[in-house]
Structure 1
Amino acid sequence: MLTTLIYRSQLDSSCHDDALNMLVEQAKQRNTALGITGIMLFNGQDILQVLEGREDRVVALYQRIVKDKRHASVVELMRDYGPRRRFENVGMLLFDLQVRSPKTVLQSVLRYSKLESYLASDDRVFKFIQSFITRGNYAHRHHDERAEAWTLTSEKHPFGEPAGLIDGQTCQFALQPIVEPYEGKISSLEMLIRGNDGGSPEQFFANLDPAKIYEVDLQTKAYAFALAKRLKIGSHKIAVNLLPMSLVNVPGAVEFLVEQIQLSGLQPEQVIIEVTENEMISGFNTFNNAIKALRGTGIGLAIDDFGSGYAGLSLLTKFQPDKLKIDREIVSNVHLSGPKQAIVKSIVSCCTDLEISLVAEGIEKLEEWRWLESAGIRRFQGFLFARPQLNGVGDIHWPHMRH
């Protein structure tokens, strides 16, 4: 299958013009033998390259490029498929914006195109090329703060000891901190529901009577609030997940939450209810009234797993939460994916305008954290910083610059 792959990278600082010319000459011979065309643009630091050819060969070549030490900050921007080639099969062509004007480079690229000019003007590949030539399309630049410049140190949490399995409950809870690494601060503690065998939320809910799911979901929050008191969380905030329809289908749901919060010696302002967009919300007017009542008590509201479910941005047009948590599928390997980066930038811009706090969840790599931090996100949750601990809080790992 004919495949077009576009990536962006930066030439490693140890490479000079001779190294780039050698890279191009080697690629020209290799690509020609493989039937791959490479169109490379270079502006002195940043590289944009279009690879076009058979899918298996293009993908294999891209994996080699990712591992090539001469390329830094390699980010895939687009992968597409088509019926015919956009470019002549010429192996590799370098267009150096340091020595040629943007207009001349664009005209030269178009000369090698097999598409009619009126088709090229509306083609995504040529739009990437034109954007790079005219505006630049550069990665976040934190050369002194790349992932390899950081290390992690473990720190004991300030809370009570884990309680182990607690008898007489329909469920257990695992706590995971949400942290602000630069501040060295715990923003809040998420209390993740688990089965009595420590199983996942999906397993817990799958074993319930479908007719009682929402009632049980609400009632389990009493165990979470009591555990928070037992662990002596002090003035820290806690976040608990609630199915959106639990607020709709269970009469007096908000009153129940407030009562259980007070019984556990907590303040409503310490509690954040996280509703996920993974469940379809029906009876939205009733749901919206419940949200108003919830906010009226002082309880905070967050949208969990944002970007993974039914509602997406349309949910933000109907009510604005205090906090929005970006789903781990968007966060995972964000430093390598142009589409994910574009989505995160849009979310950051939207939430900045609406004064909504952002949390990136599912962080497992220093590279993910560094990119997201540079994009303007300050709060993070994931295995990199702390793993969930059953009925307790595990050690927290804080990042520090290497000396």
Structure 2
Amino acid sequence: MLATLIYRSRLNRTLDPSQLAGLVERASLRNAQLHVTGILLFDGDHFLQVLEGPQASVNAVYERIGKDPRHGNVVELLRDFAPRRRFVDRGMVLFDLRVMKPHVVLRAILRFGTLKYKLASNDRVYKFIRTFIASPSTNGGVVRNTSPEQWRFAIKTSPFASDAPLFHEQPCQFAFQPIIEPLRGNISSLEALIRGPNGGSPQEYFSTIAPNKLHEADLASKGWALAMARRLGIGNHKVAINLLPMSLVKIPGAVDILLNHITRNQLNPGQIIVEVTEDEVISGYEEFTWAIRQLRAAGIGLAIDDFGSGFAGLSLLAKFQPDKLKIDRTIVTDIHLHGPKQAIVKAIIDCCAELQITVVAEGVEKVEEWCWLEAVGIQRFQGFLFARPVLNGVSAINWPQRILHKI
């Protein structure tokens, strides 16, 4: 099976570009032995390479590239399969944009492929090449100024209690996790993550509840979440609570019940953010819409949680324009290495900018992920890199600090 892989990377400045032709020639011979062919483009700062060959061989070449210190910021753009090769029967052909004009390169690549391998101008691989060549200012989507080595982290105690006692006969517990603005040193809010009576997962807790009582228990648990938030000393900070969408539909007077929970715990509606998950199909849209209007009229914030992981995200975004949108961790994980994820996040950011919606990246665990996301304009983050959820408490926060080099 013929596999296709496209990646881009940045030249490590320890490599003299004048050595590039010789390096390419040697790499070409190695690739040819593995029956891997393709082309390499270089614009003086960045590479774009197309690899074609047996899947195992292409994967082996790409793994070697990822470990090669001469490459930096290696980002996978496409993995696909094809009925035939597009390019020459050599391991690699170099197109150097420093000495070749863009239109000459495009014409040469198209003619090269067309004559021997039927490459067409609407071919998807050719479109990647054309974008890279035609966009020198952005280098085909490369995000600049992502420098993890410029940062160190310092742990500082949060202003909240690290451990709060449970209430009598409390049926569930909560793990609290901060959502922060790292470069501003600001805690945006706390999220209350439901746990079982013994600290187990949400699934473990809800599995003990009869299906016909699920939404009632879900709504009731928010009262305990707010009570625990108050006990932690939340003050004027905001707290985010997760709510199944159908809890607002199936429970009569759901919004009034939630408002009673807020009042009873001496909080105000403006401190509360209801995070609607995508994990449940929404039926009864008229009732759900009415409940959302009631929430907004009361001053309660609305967020779409785990955006990109479930059923209803785009529909919720189009219909209700939430205050916040939280990008799911499945998209955030290793985003600095994955071109398709990067394109999705950039589109989300552009959309939310037009709608004045705040974007939060959740599940951030690596400094490289944070640096890339911060570079494209996201300011609010949640994840193990900064603070882990703590059962009935709030952990210290790992704040980034720029390393200042002495002159």
TM tier, smaller = over 0.9
Residue equivalent to 1:14: 14
The 1:188–1:157 alpha-carbon spacing in structure 2 relative to 1, beyond 3 Å, is: same
SS of the residue corresponding to residue 182 of structure 1 reads helix
Name the counterpart of 2:330.
Answer: 329
Q: Could you say which residue in structure 2 is the equivalent of 1:211?
A: 212
4+ residue segments displaced more than 4 Å: 114-119, 164-167
- The residue aligned with 2:106 is 106
Q: Report deviation, 1:314.
A: 2.6
Tell me, in whole angstroms, the C-alpha distance in 2 between the residues paired with 1:394 and 1:167: 24
| Residue in structure 1 matched with residue 52 of structure 2 by the alignment | 52
Q: Does 1:251 align with 2:243?
A: no
Q: How does 1:174-185 map to 2 (within 5 A)?
A: 174-185=175-186
**Identical-residue share of aligned pairs (%):** 57
* Offset of residue 160 of structure 1: 2.3
Q: How has the CA–CA distance of structure 1 residues 323 and 314 changed in structure 2, closer, same or farther, with 3 Å as cutoff?
A: same
1:301 counterpart residue number: 302
Deviations 1:10-38 (A, max 9, x none): 11112112332232022111011111013
Deviation digits for residues 196-249 of structure 1, max 9, x if unmatched? 121111221122110100000000111011111111111000000000000000
Alpha-carbon separation, structure 1, partners of 2:33 and 2:118: 31
In the other structure, the counterpart of 2:96 is 96
| Equivalent residue pairs, number | 401
- Residues 166 and 228 of structure 2 are in contact (CA less than 8 Å); yes or no, is this contact kept in structure 1? no
SS at match of 1:240: strand
3-state DSSP of counterpart to 2:318: helix
2:181·2:188 contact (CA, 8 Å) conserved in 1?
yes
Hey, what does 1:198 align to over in structure 2?
199
Q: 1:52-100: per-residue Cα shift (whole Å, max 9, x none)?
A: 0000110111011011110011100001001211112211100001111
Write out per-residue CA displacement over residues 264-321 of structure 1, whole angstroms, 9 at most, x where no aligned residue.
0101100000001121000111100000011111111100000111123232221111
The AA in structure 1 aligned to 2:342 is Q
1:348 corresponds to 2:349: yes
> 1:78 & 1:132 partners in 2: Cα distance?
14
Contact kept in structure 2, 1:73 and 1:139, CA below 8 Å: no
* Structure 2 letter corresponding to 1:283: G
2:149 aligned residue = 148
Question: Which 10-residue stretch deviates more, 308-317 or 361-370?
Answer: 308-317
Structure 1 length normalisation: TM-score?
A: 0.97
Contact 2:5 2:79 in 1 (8 A): yes
Q: What residue number does 2:241 align with?
A: 240
**SS of 1:188 mapped into structure 2:** strand
Structure 2 CA distance, aligned partners of 1:4 and 1:91?
13
Using the TM superposition, give the Cα deviation of residue 166 of structure 1 relative to its aligned residue in structure 2, in angstroms.
4.9
Distance 1:384 1:45 in 2: 30
1:165 to 1:112, Cα distance in 2 relative to 1, 3 A: farther
Q: Which letter maps to 2:287?
A: T
Contact conserved, 1:241 with 1:273, CA < 8 A, in 2?
A: yes
Contact 1:179 1:186 in 2 (8 A): yes
How far apart are 1:325 and its partner, in Å? Answer: 0.3
Give the secondary structure class of the aligned counterpart of 2:113. coil
Q: 2:90 and 2:110 mapped to 1: Cα distance?
A: 14
Q: Which consecutive residues of structure 2, in runs of 5 or more, have no partner in the other structure?
A: none
**Most deviating of 44-53 and 99-108:** 99-108
Report the counterpart of residue 159 of structure 1 in structure 2: 160
Question: Is the partner of 2:377 in helix, strand or coil?
Answer: coil
Secondary structure in structure 2 of the residue aligned to 1:191: strand
> Is contact 2:278-2:311 (8 Å) kept?
yes
Residue 214 to residue 28, structure 1, CA distance change in 2 (3 Å): same
For 1:115 and 1:81, locate their aligned partners in 2 and report how far apart those are by CA, in whole Å: 21
Q: 1:139 aligns with which of 136, 139, 142?
A: 142
